[in-house]
């Protein structure tokens, strides 16, 4: 894997899976734009680490639920690093709620951050990817897209929507040298998506056939393999310890 000269945007790079993915992309030579919403400290520390590795890196703050902030974020990256070759649409929210407690605001927030932002970012960055005849997009979905999961219907719907988006983009962009794939993790440790409480996490582990939580690096490795391989597009790989055998 050699991504020297490629510019990658990882959204949600201040979180567990995004941090691991951005690190691996930088190790493989890419320059990195690190998207974040609130955790500037984590994003800045990672950018500094990447610069010490010899790659260029900028942090870009923006609420992906806001289309204007999203488009400004891409403009900022292009001004500092150049056109985006690799989009890892990873940022996500998921508040655990039962059906009757999901407000319209919660539904819209979840759909807008998890699904609409992936569509808008892809629509924006593929203009340049098509012109250059090379691009890679990986959407971070969830096992919830297939099983319903434990967060709630708002989250499951947003993650299932990403799979449909991935298939549509993959079909239309394949002739232009742009691949589009999805990864569907489940129960990954050291992320904001898990309760962070040992008892609850032990109970969740009982759901996983391999008998432990996943690691952010194990998701990052799959994302990297999608980026490296020009002959895989339109695929979803579950990184779920065997929860949903297909
Ligand atoms: N962890 C799991 O078990 C698991 C399982 C299945 C799928 N996933 C998916 O994996 C992806 C990464 O999550 P994670 O597990 O690494 O959790 P995480 O540590 O909570 O990271 C979430 C990231 O999303 C960013 N984010 C949240 N709301 C945002 C917004 N409105 N605008 C821009 N960025 C926003 C956060 O930024 P700040 O921290 O800066 O606010 C953070 O960087 C998510 O899409 C999640 O749904 C995770």
246, part of any domain: no
46, part of any domain: yes
* Domain hosting residue 73, numbered range: 7-239
Spatial separation of the C-alpha atoms in residues 242 and 205, rounded to whole Å: 12
Ligand 1: which of 14, 92, 200, 208 to mutate, judged by most atoms within 8 Å of the beta carbon? 92
H-assigned helices in 115-152:
117-132, 144-147
What is the total count of domains within the chain?
1
- Cα separation of the two ends of the chain: 28
For residue 24, what pLDDT is reported?
98
81, part of any domain: yes
Asked if 168 contacts 122 with a C-beta cutoff of 8 angstroms, the reply is: no
244, part of any domain: no
88, part of any domain: yes
Spatial separation of the C-alpha atoms in residues 246 and 235, rounded to whole Å: 13
Asked if 35 contacts 60 with a C-beta cutoff of 8 angstroms, the reply is: yes
Spatial separation of the C-alpha atoms in residues 211 and 160, rounded to whole Å: 26
103, part of any domain: yes
Tokens matching residue 51: 């610069």
Q: How many CA atoms does the CB half-sphere of 49 hold within 13 Å? A: 17
Can 244 be counted among the known catalytic residues?
Answer: no
As for ligand 1, residues whose beta carbon falls within 6 Å of it are 11-12, 14-18, 36-39, 63-65, 90-94, 113, 140, 142, 185-188, 191-194
- pLDDT tens for the 246 residues of the chain, in order: 899 999 999 999 999 999 999 999 999 999 999 999 999 999 999 999 999 999 999 999 999 999 999 999 999 999 999 999 999 999 999 999 999 999 999 999 999 999 999 999 999 999 999 999 999 999 999 999 999 999 999 999 999 999 999 999 999 999 999 999 999 999 999 999 998 889 999 999 999 999 999 999 999 999 999 999 999 999 999 999 999 997
Q: What is the pTM of this model?
A: 0.99
Distance 15 CA to ligand 1 centre (A): 6
Q: How many CA atoms does the CB half-sphere of 1 hold within 13 Å? A: 17
Q: Among 155, 193, 220, 240, which one carries the catalytic annotation?
A: 155
Ligand 1: which of 11, 12, 69, 72 to mutate, judged by most atoms within 8 Å of the beta carbon? 12
Identify the CATH number of the domain in which residue 29 sits.
3.40.50.720
For residue 195, what pLDDT is reported?
83
For residue 196, what pLDDT is reported?
82
Spatial separation of the C-alpha atoms in residues 226 and 105, rounded to whole Å: 34
For residue 15, what pLDDT is reported?
98
Spatial separation of the C-alpha atoms in residues 199 and 7, rounded to whole Å: 41
Asked if 135 contacts 86 with a C-beta cutoff of 8 angstroms, the reply is: yes
Pairing between β-strand 7-10 and β-strand 31-36 as defined by DSSP bridges:
parallel
For residue 145, what pLDDT is reported?
98
For residue 246, what pLDDT is reported?
78
122, part of any domain: yes
Q: Which residue has the tokens 């897209």?
A: 145
Spatial separation of the C-alpha atoms in residues 72 and 75, rounded to whole Å: 5
């Amino acid at each position: 894997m050699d991504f020297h000269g490629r510019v990658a945007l990882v959204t949600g790079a201040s979180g567990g899976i995004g941090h691991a993915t951005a690190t691996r992309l930088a190790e493989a030579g890419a320059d990195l734009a690190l998207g974040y919403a609130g955790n500037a400290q984590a994003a800045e520390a990672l950018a500094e680490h990447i610069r010490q590795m010899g790659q260029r890196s900028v942090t870009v703050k923006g609420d992906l639920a806001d289309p204007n902030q999203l488009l400004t974020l891409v403009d900022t990256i292009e001004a500092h690093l150049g056109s985006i070759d690799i989009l890892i649409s990873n940022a996500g929210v998921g508040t655990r709620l039962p059906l009757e407690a999901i407000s319209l605001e919660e539904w819209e927030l979840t759909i807008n951050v998890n699904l609409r932002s992936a569509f808008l970012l892809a629509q924006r960055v593929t203009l340049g990817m098509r012109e250059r005849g090379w691009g890679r997009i990986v959407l971070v979905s969830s096992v919830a897209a297939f099983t319903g999961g434990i967060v709630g219907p708002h989250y499951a719907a947003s993650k299932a929507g990403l799979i449909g988006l991935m298939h549509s983009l993959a079909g239309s962009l394949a002739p232009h040298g742009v691949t589009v794939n999805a990864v569907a993790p489940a129960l990954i440790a050291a992320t904001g998506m898990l309760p962070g409480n040992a008892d609850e996490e032990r109970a969740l582990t009982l759901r996983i056939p391999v008998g432990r939580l996943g690691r952010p690096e194990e998701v990052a490795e799959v994302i990297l393999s999608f980026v490296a391989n020009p002959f895989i597009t339109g695929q979803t790989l579950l990184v779920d310890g065997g929860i949903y055998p297909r």
